[in-house]
Amino acid sequence: MRILQLFIDDKFVDSAIQKLSHKDNVINIVISNNDKLNYVKSNNVIHYSTEVIENKFSEITASFDVIFFHSLPHIFRNLIIQHKKKLIYCWFLWGYEYYSEWKIEALNLYEKDESKLNLNNIKDKLIYNNISFKILGNNILKKYYKSELLEAVKKIDYFAPVLPNEYSKIKKLNSDIKYLPYTYGYLEMYIGSNMDIDLSNKKDILLGNSADPSNNHISIIDKLSKINLEDRKVVVPLSYSGNEEYKKKIIDYGHKMLGKNFLALVDFMPMEDYNNIIFNCGYVIFNHIRQQAIGNLIVMGYLGAKIFLNSKSVTSEFLRDNSVIFTPTSKIDFKELNTKMNLEDIMYNKNFIFNYFSKTTVEARTKELFNLIKSAKEQ
């Protein structure tokens, strides 16, 4: 069974390549129109432009049995749609390609001022929701739901979510799609030699993980501006994702509302330097509604930080299902930001994160994935 892994050039790719580097039946192709890859450092890759993969897709894939599509950017969706399906297709979710592209999700990514609702917002809400899609999506409302994403997903055989509860979301797009267990990174890789660090007594606050607007920074900055932070820093990573306009907006607003307490991280920095900053944060606020920042959550939760999450997020649902202790962002106030977690709760979170995201568990998941794909191929 020969497997082709397709990637775009991104920081997540090296860990996925390394995980299967011992298998000589796996070939890795990274798609980028740049002469040199910006993020992928692995040597075990073939670099193609979008033009080459589009023109030679059938020829390139002819000797393979299975394709692993890591994320579903436009180029991958187009390949799936335009070519007659002969292989087993597997989609490994990153997040943006679904939450930003599928309108039911995209309409609910951001916190809104309800007073600003207009007739167009109301119309979209009535059309784009799971009930309307289930009942009317194949007839009366079909034209509204027709999309490149939906067309591609209907041709995919297997789906590997970041969090297991995301599978039910994708089943609504393709009822025949099957579940694959998979996790990109693992705890020991993220933390390295810092396994014994204790963040529970640290005072600084980590807000968000990127410059993507789905971080919903503004409402949290507003909350923090009404709290006496004394000399605590609000650390806001803005070096990844998003756009320059949004990044500038957050930097300007953060300085305006939080003054000297606001610390934006705008440039990529060595991991050691980055850790030196965030490891002063004993309080972590992720206000996303979509699945995001899982790697940061694993690290900071394991090291004893107090976690605040948007209660509407798929991540909150996953953690609640596993009895992990966190605080809703709606409860952020002076008391919550000055009360650390008790030792029993810290240890429960630490044990859950280790049991679910350790190297041993992640490798077992990957082995199970291969067994499932092998069984499917043999049928």
Residues 77, 180 within the same domain: yes
Please, which pLDDT band fits residue 115 given cuts at 50, 70 and 90? very low
Is residue 208 over pLDDT 70?
A: yes
The pLDDT value recorded for residue 113 is 46
- The CATH number of the domain holding residue 32 is 3.40.50.2000
* 110 part of a folded domain: no
**CA 271: distance to chain centroid?**
19
The pLDDT value recorded for residue 144 is 64
Residues 233, 331 within the same domain: yes
The pLDDT value recorded for residue 114 is 37
Average pLDDT rounded to a whole number, residues 295-313: 96
Residues 152, 43 within the same domain: yes
Is residue 353 over pLDDT 60?
A: yes
Inter-CA distances, 271 with 191, 275, 328, Å: 10, 6, 29
Amino acid at 89: Y
- Tally of domains in the chain: 2
What single string gives the DSSP state of each residue in 41-55? Answer: --SS-EEE-HHHHHH
The pLDDT value recorded for residue 377 is 77
Inter-CA distances, 216 with 167, 200, 204, 208, 337, Å: 24, 25, 19, 8, 19
Q: Are 207 and 285 in contact (CB under 8 A)?
A: yes
**How many Å apart are CA 47 and CA 70, to the nearest integer?**
15
* 139 part of a folded domain: no
For the chain, give the mean pLDDT. 90
Is residue 130 over pLDDT 90?
A: no
Higher model confidence: residue 217 or residue 133? 217
The pLDDT value recorded for residue 17 is 93
Residues 75, 198 within the same domain: no
Residues 212, 342 within the same domain: yes
Q: Which residues are paired to 68 by β-bridges?
A: 5, 90
Q: What is the pTM of this model?
A: 0.90
Residues 374, 344 within the same domain: no
Pairing type for strands 234-237 and 262-265 reads parallel
Is residue 122 over pLDDT 70?
A: no
Which of 22-31, 127-136, 255-264 has the highest mean predicted lDDT (pLDDT)? 255-264
What single string gives the DSSP state of each residue in 180-225? Answer: ----S--HHHHHGGGTT---TT--EEEE-SSS-GGG-HHHHHHHHH
